[in-house]
Each structure stands twice: as C-alpha cells, then as structure tokens.
Amino acid sequence: MGAKEGLVAEAEEIRQRYQVVGRREELRRILAAARAGKHILLEGPVGVGKTFLAKVVASHLGREFIRVDGDERLTEARLIGYWDPPLVLSRGYVREAFVEGPLTRAALSGGVLFINELNRLPESAQNALLPVMDEGIITVPHLGEFRAREGFLIVATQNPEESIGVTRLSEALRDRFVLVRLEYQSEEEEREIVRLRSGVEDPRIVGTAVRIVRETRSDPSIRRGASVRSAIDLASVVRQICEDPTEGDWITAAIMVLSPRVELRDGVTDDVESVIRDLVLRALRGAAEGFRE
C-alpha cells in the first residue's frame, strides 16, 4: 500500500472509530502533517470541528492531549512553567520546585499541545513557542534545557473572522506551522452531525434545525452566522418543547439558541430577535418546499 492509500485508509479508520462525519480530505492533511512531525494551524470559523479533529487525531496517534485557551492571561511563564516560591526558599532551584506549564508537559511527554485561538495569545507567549518548534528545546532559567520527546506537536487554531482582542501572528511563528483550512460542511453532512450529536431522529426536526442555522450564514443582516453546534442545540431544544413543533415553537427555540450566537452587522436597525424570527420563517418555507419535493 502506497503512502497516499495508507493515509486514506487511516483517515477512514478515524472516521469510523470516532464517528467523524465527512472531513476525509482534512483528516488526510492533518495526518500527513502529524506523521511528518510538523506543527499544525487549523484555520476556520467557530464551530467547524477544529478541536474535535485535533482530539481524535491525538487519540488515534496515542498521544496525550493538553489544551490551553489563548487569552492575555496565558503569559510566557504560565505556558512554560514557574518556580514554586516556598520550595525554592526551602530547597533552592531544584527540579522538584519547578511547576511545569502546559508547553513543557506536552513537550516532555511527546504529546499534543492544543492551543485554541492562538492569535489571542500575547506576543511574549507566542514567541516562547519558537525555540521548541525550531529545535525541540525549552530553556528554564536556573535549571537548564529540556528537550522535547519524539512525537511532540503543537496544534493551534485561529478564526480568520475574529478581529477584536487578537494579536496578529508574526511571520516567524506562521512560518513554523503547516496550514489546514476547515470550512462549513455540506447541508447533508450537517444533518448527519445533528442527528448523531443531538440524539433527535426525526428527519423533519433535524433538517429544519440545520436549514435555520444555515440561513444565518447568508442573511444580509448578520455579520457572523451560527455553526452546526447551534443546529444541534436547536434540534434538542425544540424537540423538548414539542414532538411536532409549530412555527411558533421554532421561533421560540431559535431565539433561545441563536440570540447569543449571531452578530448583527453595523447599521442594522432591527433587533436580533426580529432578524431571527424572519429567517426562521424563510427557513420553514424552504423546509416545507423541500419535504414536498
């Protein structure tokens, strides 16, 4: 079996074992990068499964998965580790007095450090990644150098649509990643995801939930639409409201689920509940036509 065929088979094994819907090509790319020992940047909108794919690949490879979320509080010291003051006072700068941070733990275990929203890390923390990505080395003052074990990988994500509270990745940092982009999946694949993750088997509820959520991505009043995660929640909530939901039930459930998750464009005068109500009605008309066909 050639390398390409081997990756195809391996990706299919992951899909079957972890119930991954679609994502054949993305899995092959992630596996190829991981097998080559390259750090991976997953780029795509919120809710397209970046974290899920990173987890299942790490599990498939038998590597520890250590997650951190990017924000300004994750300093270089928190990322690499810090000295425990009482132990330093009593015993000095000994190995036992050093508290490993997530970067050091992942490196020493040969695991996967997953950084959610890498571009929200402060610049100093981003720069702390460079030596271990380049040479596999982490330097701790008073203690010396740690060398990463074979298998260590950084898998990071960023949402290209975000602009508030983010730090632009330096050329040096981007140059050390290989990029895998993830987009929204097809309507058919999203219906299967919702069925699997929500436990709702009624195809009308599943299909309508997906159609409503997909409508948020094309509505001219909405700057940022909702992900399939919202469709999962919408199907679950409306199913609890009624086994055979009415138009009013769908509007109620959609306002509950979507109001905190969609962002209106500047200049839109309607409130978010009105926008959601209108798109639900459009989606219900489309769903009714689809079922008649």
Q: Tell whether 41 and 175 lie within a shared domain.
A: yes
**Global confidence as pTM:** 0.88
Predicted local distance difference test score (pLDDT) of residue 46: 87
Predicted local distance difference test score (pLDDT) of residue 138: 92
Domain boundary among 181, 201, 235: 181
Between the alpha carbon of residue 35 and those of residues 6, 30, 58, 138, the distances in Å are 12, 9, 11, 22
Q: Tell whether 241 and 268 lie within a shared domain.
A: yes
Q: Tell whether 170 and 201 lie within a shared domain.
A: no
Reduced 3-state DSSP string for the chain:
CCHHHHHHHHHHHHHHHHCCCCCHHHHHHHHHHHHCCCEEEEECCCCCCHHHHHHHHHHHHCCCEEEEECCCCCCHHHHHEEECHHHHHHHCCCHHHEEECHHHHHHHHCCEEEEECHHHCCHHHHHHCHHHHHHCEEEECCCEEEECCCCCEEEEEECCCCCCCCCCCCHHHHCCEEEEECCCCCHHHHHHHHHHHHCCCCHHHHHHHHHHHHHHCCCCCEEECCCHHHHHHHHHHHHHHCCCCCHHHHHHHHHHHHCCCCEECCCCCCCHHHHHHHHHHHHHHHHHHHHHC
Domain, as residue range, for 44: 3-181
**pLDDT by residue (tens digit) across 62-104?**
999 999 998 888 888 899 999 899 998 998 888 889 899 999 9
**pLDDT by residue (tens digit) across 229-243?**
999 999 999 999 998
Predicted local distance difference test score (pLDDT) of residue 144: 86
Predicted local distance difference test score (pLDDT) of residue 124: 87
Predicted local distance difference test score (pLDDT) of residue 143: 84
**Number of domains into which the chain is organized:** 2
Q: Tell whether 32 and 137 lie within a shared domain.
A: yes
Q: Which residues in the chain show pLDDT less than 70?
A: 1-2, 161-167, 287-293
Q: Tell whether 161 and 211 lie within a shared domain.
A: no
The CATH number given to whatever domain includes residue 283 is: 1.10.8
Predicted local distance difference test score (pLDDT) of residue 163: 54
